[in-house]
Amino acid sequence: MASSGPNGTDNGDSLPPPPPVVPSDVVPVKAELEKKKALRLPIARRGLASKGTKLQLLTNHYRVNVANTDGHFYQYSVALFYDDGRPVEGKGVGRKLLDRVHETYDSELNGKDFAYDGEKTLFTLGSLARNKLEFTVVLEDIIASRNNGNCSPDGNGELNESDKKRMRRPNSSKAFKVELSYASKIPLQAIANALRGQESENYQEAIRVLDIILRQHAAKQGCLLVRQSFFHNDPKNFADVGGGVLGCRGFHSSFRTTQSGLSLNIDVSTTMIITPGPVVDFLISNQNVRDPFSLDWAKAKRTLKNLRIKASPSNQEFKITGISEFPCKDQTFTLKRKGGDDVAEEEVTVYDYFVNIRKIDLRYSGDLPCINVGKPKRPTYIPLELCSLVSLQRYTKALSTLQRASLVEKSRQKPQERMRVLTDALKSSNYGSEPMLRNCGISISPNFTEVEGRVLQAPRLKFGNGEDFNPRNGRWNFNNKKIVKPTKIERWAVVNFSARCDTRGLVRDLIKCGGMKGIVIDQPFDVFEENGQFRRAPPVVRVEKMFELVQSKLPGAPQFLLCLLPERKNSDLYGPWKKKNLAEFGIVTQCIAPTRVNDQYLTNVLLKINAKLGGLNSILGVEHSPSIPIVSRAPTIIIGMDVSHGSPGQTDIPSIAAVVSSREWPLISKYRASVRTQSPKMEMIDNLFKKVSDKEDEGIMRELLLDFYTSSGNRKPDNIIIFRDGVSESQFNQVLNIELDQIIEACKFLDEKWNPKFLVIVAQKNHHTKFFQPGAPDNVPPGTVIDNKICHPRNYDFYMCAHAGMIGTSRPTHYHVLLDEIGFSPDDLQELVHSLSYVYQRSTTAISVVAPICYAHLAATQMGQFMKFEDKSETSSSHGGSGMPAPPVPQLPRLQENVSSSMFFC
């Protein structure tokens, strides 16, 4: 293939085109052609790398044999209707209906099995008799969100004949219509082609069918399905993380095409579920209160909506639609009773009805609201103590810091234990019994796949006083070492929002520790203690008052403020404090919440402060000498890009895009960041180039490129290396064609004649491939890289574990090289990625993914804290789906000039 330049044009020495002959009144077609320029596709692999010590490893991919490659999958669209012709809206009934179709109409289906995705699509191997088929099926005891009586009267208050009769009568049955219509067919041959590296259109589709078969197989076993992960209802797999939430362990299972054939990737997976059992116990735990009478019912109503319960004594299942307005003793409804021919109506309280008419003893529900399982206009009330939450219901809200910590701790597994669990999972899944897989001639090997890894040597690090050091096991420390480029800390002060702390002692130790590392720290100007009367005030007020105090006492703006916070990790002072310092005053600040202060703690704090103030803690030997292949020879900028989204429950929080870039070439250890908000949940970064007039571009890239130019001796980068985090394979083409195009436009806007070369790499952490050392209890050593066997059959990808996994099982980073115009050899590229895991200034260990991506992540998170405390009304969720235009995305405040180019995020 001809090599193509950044605009997809040939770089060959072609002759110039002949001069155009255009009549003066014709608009040239060039503009039209520009639009249709060739799409960039991910490049193919450029051979394998060879550096490093070879190491035999096992991976959680199981070899799949596909014997049948002649057939076709036929795809049918599924439409479901009630017998009166209304379409079925509710989820969850589809599988029941299609199971019934399968049982009842076996001969009309030619005895075929099918793979149904639970929604609107179904696949068979070979075709059905006709292109359109209609079936009528009957389901008993169908309870979507409908109430079938026998639990409490509905809004009309009828007793639905007598309860006793209903107990004996089978639940009402209902007729449905199921329509199947032919949509397309997919050749099984597509899988075989993909394995030979020839990707056809249909291979993803064919693999998707296989994945749907796995989902259906798990659904038949009563599992909760979350994408390609499956969770059994087995209390052995539940771990309580507090707040009425359980971590539920299951496993992920999906087919992958690899260099050595088709493999089934099985991994341990965890999802969050609501603790099953009495609703009241869940609420008490969820709100962390002592008894049901302390519950916040407005909050409870939001938490419970749409959850499924079983009501005793009938054991019938319902969906919660709301909560009664009044307590059970006061909530009334109209009860209709038949007496001979007339119907008598009376107002009854829910409490009286259950206690006196149904003769059910209620111990504590009388004074609490009831659960409503009816329609808004026709409520159906059930006393709280008769309601129990059904198992395996997902909890989708964000976890608290404590819950997250508890989950991490409880879901850790050492490599050997994880291997055992995976082997058991494959056995118990019993895929051999799945008829669809058997018909495709698919069999799955019971053994882990063997792969060859290579362990790269750690890069040499440089410290102060010309000292060099080779990290061992991906770690080093600063004991008896000096920082390579220390800053001097002169005009500074301490602010204390946390009363219980020996501030003077802390300052003394910090100055002493700094001295040992080579950082000269003057005495602070002052220690500002928070005035006790503001301790209960809102965070923004506390920060304002503290700043007034600081301003009244300091002679001028400080270079640096050390801020002591009362609680770690989630102090609500953090966001407003950072915003005040960075955006309003341009002051570098370090927040700490000192609990156990020792030498190690102070050293870590000093590393962060030094980096923020423009120093460097350690650098690579190859960076100092400069001898990094390609990067040291020509001006090269390294970019890290990430988008962070609100937690799963928050749909209206703006997403935050952060791009960091290296500065002061030939260094690759110094970075700055540019951060912007964008529409919620949008993964592509949309402000890389933002032309506001012929002369002005307000995009992210412009400020980064200009900063590189001024900090690198007025040189433009010849090479631009981009690391992109957090995109899935389906979005690679957008990164290559949308984001990269914007970056190229930003370059052209600065200088039309400038044609830098690009290298684009995506880093993924949320995949399910793990590596194990056969027969050894430890994780793979730091520096392990794998680029064979289980990698992509055509594309250029590799796995790297740069860090030492101390706990649990290491998660390698999966790097995908989408474009390389610069021309790195596989060895040089892996070496560069490995080196970039050693330049993270706030840590004395190799990290698991390149530093620019970690920095982008930190910058997005820190600026995201600014948003948390903005006026909530701007991002409230009242703009529901009423066809209203989405509210404008609130913008982040711009940082002051003097901190915007610092490593404020470090």
Where do the structural domains in the chain lie, given as residue ranges?
Answer: 277-390, 486-613
pLDDT more than 90, % of the chain:
64
pLDDT band at residue 8 under the 50/70/90 scheme: very low
Determine the Cα–Cα distance for residues 274 and 281; give it in Å rounded to an integer. 11
* pLDDT given at position 36: 62
Sign of CA dihedral 624, 627, 633, 639: negative
Give the residue with greater pLDDT, 34 vs 570: 570
What is the mean pLDDT of the segment spanning 7-29?
A: 46
Q: Is the pLDDT of residue 165 over 90?
A: no
pLDDT band at residue 38 under the 50/70/90 scheme: confident
What is the mean pLDDT of the segment spanning 197-212?
A: 83
Q: Is 724 within 8 Å of 774 (Cβ atoms)?
A: no
Q: Is 157 within 8 Å of 334 (Cβ atoms)?
A: yes
pLDDT band at residue 877 under the 50/70/90 scheme: very low
> Model pTM?
0.88
- Find the distance separating the first CA and the last CA of the chain, reported in whole Å: 43
**Mean of the per-residue pLDDT values of the chain:** 87
Which pair of structure tokens corresponds to residue 558?
């400080």
Long-range pairs for 196-203: beta carbons < 8 A, 24 or more residues apart: 196/793, 197/793, 197/794, 198/794, 199/794, 203/257
* pLDDT given at position 895: 87
Nearest-CA neighbor of 99 among 114, 84, 80, 82?
114
Determine the Cα–Cα distance for residues 51 and 459; give it in Å rounded to an integer. 13
- How confident is the model over 426-460, as pLDDT tens digits? 999 999 899 999 988 899 999 999 999 999 999 99
Determine the Cα–Cα distance for residues 684 and 737; give it in Å rounded to an integer. 11
From residue 508, alpha-carbon distances to 490, 511, 612 in Å are 15, 5, 21
- How confident is the model over 389-436, as pLDDT tens digits? 999 999 988 888 889 999 999 888 999 999 999 999 999 999 989 999
CATH topology of domain 277-390: paz domain (2.170.260)
- How confident is the model over 565-604, as pLDDT tens digits? 987 656 888 989 999 999 999 999 999 988 778 888 999 9
Give the Cα-Cα-Cα angle 868, 869, 875 (nearest 5 degrees).
Answer: 65
Determine the Cα–Cα distance for residues 862 and 581; give it in Å rounded to an integer. 13
Per this entry, what is the length of the chain? 906
Nearest-CA neighbor of 422 among 251, 298, 576, 624?
251
pLDDT band at residue 723 under the 50/70/90 scheme: very high
Determine the Cα–Cα distance for residues 877 and 872; give it in Å rounded to an integer. 10
From residue 83, alpha-carbon distances to 61, 79, 804 in Å are 46, 13, 61
Report the 10 Å Cβ neighbour count for 348: 19
- How confident is the model over 212-238, as pLDDT tens digits? 999 999 999 889 999 999 999 999 999
Burial category of 507 from C-beta neighbours within 10 Å (exposed 0-12, middle 13-18, buried 19 and up) = middle
Nearest-CA neighbor of 820 among 758, 763, 762?
758
Give the residue with greater pLDDT, 282 vs 557: 282
- 577: enclosing H helix or E strand: helix 574-578
Give the residue with greater pLDDT, 282 vs 140: 282
What is the mean pLDDT of the segment spanning 497-504?
A: 81
Domain 486-613: CATH superfamily is: Response regulator (3.40.50.2300)
Helix extents (H) in 430-561:
435-439, 503-517, 539-553
Q: Is the pLDDT of residue 148 over 50?
A: no
